[in-house]
Amino acid sequence: MAAALRTLGLDVNRERLRRAIASSTFEAMRAHEDKVAALDRDKGHARIMRRGKAGEWKEWMTPQLESCFAAPEVRSVARSLGYDLG
């Protein structure tokens, strides 16, 4: 990852990069969701970090959840990251 960032002209502190990578694992994201999103689940919101399987969202996306991704600001961020939400 450090080499890829250097290719882009970015020089990132290796320890900071290591921490970012470690906190981005499926297990870390699932633990974060358990800690932070518990109240949302109590309101009936779906878990996003399920099994960590690529494309898994296609198995559980519902029309109701899809509407959460329809806001202009969400579409704008998605577009800036290379995603087309249709």
Q: For residue 33, what pLDDT is reported? A: 75
- pTM here? 0.42
Token pair recorded at residue 39: 């109240």
Q: What is the mean pLDDT of residues 59-78?
A: 82
The region of weakest confidence among 6-15, 24-33, 40-49, 53-62 is 40-49
